[in-house]
Structure 1
Amino acid sequence: MSKRVLIVGGVAGGAACAARLRRMDENAEIVIFDRGSFVSFANCGLPYFIGGVIEKEKSLLVADEKLFKDRFNIDVHTETEVLAIDREKKTVSVIDRRNDRVRVESYDDLVLSPGASPFRPPVDGIDLPGVFSLRTIPDSREIRQWLEEREVKTAVVIGGGFIGLEMAENLTHRGVQVTIVEMLDQVMPPFDVEMASLVAEKLTQKGVQLALGDGLKSIGQTDSGALVVHTQSGKHHEAGIVILAIGVRPETRLAAEAGLVLGSRGGIRVDQHMRTSDPAIWAVGDAVEVTDYVTGQPALVPLAGPAARQGRIAADNICGRDARFRGVQGTAICGVFDLEVACTGASEKTLRRLGDTDFEKIYLHPNDHAGYFPGATGMSLKLIFRPSDGRVLGAQGVGVKGVARRIDVIAMAIQMAGTIYDLEEAELCYAPQFGGAKDPANFAGMIAADVARGDMPITHWSEPATPDTVLLDVRSPGEFAHGHAPGAVNYPLESLRDSLDRVPASPDLRVYCAVGQRGYVATRLLRQHGIPARNLSGGLTTGRQVLGVSKA
């Protein structure tokens, strides 16, 4: 017998589920209800439509009602909201917002894909004209219209995460002076602070003002009509527009009112099959609470990729297949002007918050492709791994080119429970314009493996100095004269063998160069001569990120 499947919400999760269902079951009756005007659109492209990079609104449309009907024989009802679920009768109450008519629809299986809504804090002035959140095409249309009609020159973006930074970039492209107000002391909250500092530096270079470590208190208005953002520190920032990019909250009203179990993080609890606590109801996308693949902790990860995969898995299970969702690892990327900013897996601060002590980190600063080939640019990578078994736990990268490719390689290693030794041996594409014989992903594995095997004892710039600490700079005298860590002594690598008797005797000898490679060679040399040196991971480049080490 054919079954009737109702899907609440489209976009990534719901639309993917519907299309997969049809491919798996030609006889099923499939119906999508979406309270918005667009059932499937590229919400990740909304900031770029506002900035004019994407010129036409229709470019954001992935599929409409006609395509779903003609290609998949799926009925789509937009501007139709599901009001309630009757689990006992297996029905939902829906209202057509165009005529306010309420009707009841029955189901054999129900899929919830309601998404997440932008968080709007309960502060004074949050509903003033000119204060916007960004979630839908109509939101982007209103923001763009406001900017054009009022010829806005200044903006305040509340929140320094992915959406906040993309909005800051696109507003800057429009000639708007942007201030980012962020409660934390860094932009890009998923990143560790030393990696996020590279992003902050780029934003500042492009004229974006940063108000970090300062949360939103209220929003007011001047006599001339300008908006004023008041912060917790007592400062205020005038603006012609305010964009709220503080984060999102899972849409769980329907599920909660129906008595479905919610998780500890507030999302709809599902099993590996994407089934809720009701065997006939499934949930996918931003509203669900899943398991972090690395930490094993409950997680809310509002990303399109996981949502689409979850929709596919729910569809397979509805059709009788045993498909399972492995979990999330937060693989994400953001363009910040000419930077690629990407991450996957656990961050150092997450592991520390969870009390995990079995991890180590390394930094490296390779070129995106062979240095002798024109156009090579540098990148900064951080790899986090477990020394006891070599398992890769997380990575972060910032650079002009090639970051996405390396983070993708590491993301796949994490998903397959891979190790630094796997990265060390990975066979990756090589031609001088694309990479090197030793790809940055290989280098990350090799460096981490050297640490795990004990071949390269390391230390970090964040490790406090002791009375015995000696900083040994093994760069050239010219490099040293141009700038070095305060208190460092210079013993160039090329003459180090002839200077061993003059190297300061210390149980805490920390060696560094520009990026760590010469430091590694020097550390190997010194230790084989009985001098207990440790290499400062990432060299002076990382030192400047971590401590802001400046020129002497």
Structure 2
Amino acid sequence: MDILVIGGVAAGTKTAAKLKRENRDYNVTIITKGKDISYAGCGLPYYVGGVIENKESLIVNTPKNFEKLTGVKVITDTEALKINRELKTVKAINTITNEENEFSYNKLVIATGADPIKPNLEGINLQGVHYVRTPEDAINLREIIENEDIKRAVVVGGGFIGLEIAENLLENNIKTTVVDACENIPPGFDKDVSRYLQDKLIDEGIMVLTNEKVVSIIGDEKVSKIKTDKRAIKADIVIMSVGIRPNSRIAYDCGISLENNKTISVNYKMQTDDEDIFAVGDCASVKNILTNNSAWSPMGSSANKEGRCVARTIAGKESKFKGVLGTSIVKILDISAARTGLTEEEAKVYGYNVESVIVPLDDKAHYYPGSGLLFIKLIADRKSEKILGAQVFGKGSVDKQIDTVATAIHFEGKLNDLQDLDLAYAPPFSTAISPLGHAANVLLNKIYEDVEIVRFEEFINNQDEYKIVDVNKVATLEDALFVDLSKINGKIEGLEYDDKILLVCQRGKRAYLTYNRMKHYGYTDISVLEGGLSLNKEMGEL
């Protein structure tokens, strides 16, 4: 059987290698327009910043080594131009010699990936405007940083790659500004989480400008500044990171169906509406496990699973790729942020009766050296208590928490399942009640109305109605009544039983204990500030 794979990064190479393991007699060929295959695209920002020292580390496999290792034939510098579905051929051109060739197939796998979006802006082609999509991009950018006097940089786009680039530029003592047209960055997080992450970037020295659109790039031959719809910003280099778009043109041109987001439409076998043509990786659609709707998952992790599915399907073995939850993670300076499932806003759109909570926690025993502050936002359906999503951010074991929630959602878990999970505990690794178990407890308390929790935004909109009560271990808030939890034994001087009271402490736990005691003594209208001062630093500035 002749199997042709168009594209040689994660999805293409995984498919091809697995095909040869399934049947050594398959004639498997990869054609790719680049000179590299199987490179570490997600590692490019860290090479730019010098965290990854050697450029050779970015190349997982060279074409020659890949051929020796797998038996797959690899043809580089060759761009596929047209698919003839009737004749089962692909016309391609050598990008160096312009020589045209034709490849025949019995089965075809489209793994053409995605291309960076290049906005139609004045000055977009000036020297000093860069993209970070290929190893060549990263190598070129790092050489410029090391050899030229680069003092100011602007990153256009606040997605994961953009923020990783900004972090690495800052580490090289380059004054860095991130500009994004959206209100909240990074994408995929709710507003309350994004606000914390943006504040973190600003605190560490990265200027963040949201709700701001770049309208032009200014310079003679080389960039000198960018202009937004609100201001001009000086820049020695500009990194464009406004997103990517699926490279699906070759499929569209031969009549294969696309989704609304321009990804190639496939079934659970990653098979297009042509039974002999498959699509995998950044160019293909997938299913969202929670909603069953078409989704896009341009991630190396998804690409590898999709490639394995296709190879087994072609080999005649039952295989399905169930889909994704949008699980992702990013390192932002000294903290990490991760998400999975639906955001709170998305869950509302899909008709769920949504309840959520953000809980600050220790990622391991507080007395153990190196313990860090972790925030968990847990999202569930109030009626069924089904887990819908989570966002975890802070220091420590962010990845462990988000992976556990993703697993729970995958198996249709509920909040009480998180309470009951038998997770590993020892002081260097976790707390006795796991962070996720604790977050589930708090959310269930909120659902069962055992505690009233108020978000900072809700408080700000109605702050004149509240009496703020400081219940930290020691007085912390100016102009607020301080109450010592251990001394509450009845009516509190300065507070009436029907006052509208907001209890504030560092993380919320002490406020909850105070809430419980004050309720016992007859106070009727009490709330706890969600996330405490750890999440809402602005509270201490009021």
Same fold (TM over 0.5): yes
Structure 1 residue corresponding to 2:540, chosen from 533, 542, 550:
550
The letter for the 2-side match of 1:212 is T
Matched, 1:345 2:341: yes
**C-alpha RMSD over aligned residues:** 2.2
Cα shift at 1:477: 6.9
Aligned pair 1:491/2:487, yes or no?
A: no
Partner-residue secondary structure (3-state), 2:466: strand
Cα distance between partner residues in 2 of 1:284 and 1:507:
60
Match of 1:435 in 2: 430
Give the AA of the match of 2:270.
M
CA distance, structure 2, for counterparts of residue 209 and residue 36 of structure 1: 35
Letter in 1 for 2:534: T
| Matching residue within 513, 529, 539 for 1:536 | 529
For structure 1, which segment, 275-284 or 296-305, has the greater mean C-alpha deviation from structure 2 after superposition?
296-305
Q: Does 1:369 align with 2:369?
A: no
The 1:209–1:536 alpha-carbon spacing in structure 2 relative to 1, beyond 3 Å, is closer
**Distance verdict in 2 for CA 1:211–1:460, change over 3 Å:** closer
Q: Does 1:504 align with 2:496?
A: yes
Distance 1:268 1:92, change over 3 A: same
Shift of 1:98: 3.0
In 1, Cα distance between equivalents of 2:99 and 2:33? 13
Tell me the percent identity.
32
Could you give the per-residue CA deviations for residues 356-398 of structure 1, whole angstroms, max 9, x where no partner exists?
3511111111112101112222122211111111111111122
Deviation at 1:453?
A: 3.3
Structure 2 unmatched ranges of 5 or more: none
**Please, what TM-score do these two structures have when normalized by structure 1?**
0.92
- Whether 1:317 aligns to 2:313 is yes
Instruction: Give 1:49's aligned residue.
Output: 47
- Give the corresponding residue for 1:280: 276
Three-state SS of the structure 2 residue aligned to 1:294 is coil
Q: Equivalent residue of 2:498, what SS?
A: coil
Shift of 1:462: 2.7
Q: Name the aligned partner's letter for residue 329 of structure 1.
A: L
| SS, match of residue 385 in structure 2 | coil
Conserved? CA contact 2:477–2:540, under 8 Å:
yes
The residue number in structure 2 matching 1:447 is 442
SS of residue paired to 2:474:
helix
Of 174, 190, 193, the residue aligned with 1:192 is 190
Whole-Å Cα distance in 1 between the matches of residues 125 and 395 of structure 2?
38
The answer to whether the Cα contact below 8 Å between 1:198 and 1:398 also exists between their aligned partners in 2 is no
Distance 1:535 1:550, change over 3 A: closer
Deviation (angstroms), 1:219: 0.7
For residues 60 and 468 of structure 1, what CA distance do their matches in structure 2 show? Answer: 56
- Map of 1:387-466 to 2, 5 A cutoff? 387-463=382-458
Shift of 1:403: 1.2
Change (3 A) 1:470 1:148: closer
What secondary structure, in the 3-state scheme, does the structure 1 residue paired with 2:540 have? coil
Deviation at residue 440 of structure 1 after TM alignment: 0.8
Separation of aligned partners in 1, 2:199 and 2:250: 43
Output the CA distance in 1 between the equivalents of 2:387 and 2:309: 26
CA contact (8 A) 1:260 1:268 kept: yes
CA distance in 2 between partners of 1:497 and 1:186 (Å): 45
The structure-2 alpha-carbon separation of the partners of 1:366 and 1:477, relative to structure 1 and needing over 3 Å to count, comes to closer
Residue 38 of structure 1: aligned partner: 36
Judged with a 3 Å threshold, the aligned counterparts in structure 2 of structure 1 residues 294 and 474 are, in CA distance, closer, same or farther, namely farther
CA contact (8 A) 2:491 2:521 kept: no
Contact kept in structure 1, 2:111 and 2:281, CA below 8 Å: yes
**1:103-252 alignment to 2 at 5 Å?**
103-221=101-219, 225-233=222-230, 235-252=231-248
Q: State the distance in 2 between where 1:496 and 1:256 align.
A: 70
The whole-number CA distance in structure 1 between the counterparts of 2:307 and 2:282 is: 11
TM-aligned CA distance change 1:199 to 1:30, over 3 Å:
same
> Cα gap change, 1:538/1:202 in structure 2, threshold over 3 Å: closer, same or farther?
closer
Are 2:264 and 2:285, in contact at CA under 8 Å, matched by a contact in 1? Answer: yes
Corresponding residue of 2:505: 513
Q: Say if 1:542 and 1:149 are closer, same or farther in 2 by CA, change over 3 A.
A: closer
For residues 418 and 6 of structure 2, the distance between their equivalents in structure 1, rounded to whole angstroms, comes to 41
| Secondary structure of the corresponding residue to residue 541 of structure 2 | coil
CA distance in 1, matches of 2:519, 2:300: 49
Is the 8 Å Cα contact of residues 468 and 506 (structure 1) preserved in structure 2?
no
Match for 1:241: what amino acid? I
* Contact 1:342/1:397 (<8 A) preserved: yes
Shift of 1:468: 9.1
Structure 2 residue matching 1:418: 3-state secondary structure = coil
Change beyond 3 A, Cα 1:257–1:503 = same
Supply the distance in 2 between the matched residues of 1:178 and 1:219 (Cα, whole angstroms). 16
Q: TM-score, normalised by structure 2?
A: 0.94
- Paired amino acid for 1:203: L
Q: For residue 514 of structure 1, what is the amino acid of its counterpart?
A: Q
Match for 2:227: what amino acid?
Answer: H
Indicate conservation of the 8 Å contact 1:130/1:146, yes or no.
no
Q: Is the 8 A contact 2:306 2:321 kept in 1?
A: yes
Deviation string 1:251-287 (CA, Å, 9 cap, x unpaired) is 1110110111011222111111111111111111111
Given that residues 472 and 505 in structure 2 are in contact (C-alpha distance below 8 angstroms), is that contact kept between their aligned partners in structure 1? Answer: no
CA shift, 1:472, in A, is 5.0
Q: CA deviation at 1:507?
A: 7.9
Task: State the number of aligned residues.
Answer: 540
Give the letter aligned to residue 410 of structure 1: V
- Post-superposition shift, 1:146? 2.6
For the residues of structure 2 that align with 1:453 and 1:8, how far apart are their CA atoms? 54
CA distance in structure 1 between the partners assigned to 2:384 and 2:253 by the alignment: 45
1:159–1:182 Cα contact (<8 Å) kept: yes
1:38 CA drift (Å): 0.8
Q: How does 1:60-75 map to 2 (within 5 A)?
A: 60-75=58-73
User: Could you tell which deviates more after superposition, 152-161 or 501-510?
Assistant: 501-510
1-side partners of 2:167 and 2:216: how far apart? 24
Aligned partners of 2:490 and 2:236: how far apart in 1? 65
Deviations 1:61-86 (A, max 9, x none): 11122222222111111111111100
- Alpha-carbon distance in structure 1 between the residues aligned to 2:62 and 2:291: 38
Between the aligned partners of 1:174 and 1:103, the Cα distance in structure 2 is: 46
* Distance change (3 Å), C-alpha of 1:508 and 1:263: farther
Cα shift at 1:188: 0.7
Whole-angstrom CA distance in 2 between matches of 1:217 and 1:517:
47
C-alpha distance in 1 between matches for 2:462 and 2:46: 50
Instruction: Return 16-25 or 42-51, whichever deviates more.
Output: 16-25
User: What is the CA–CA distance in structure 2 between the aligned matches of 1:468 and 1:240, rounded to whole Å?
Assistant: 47
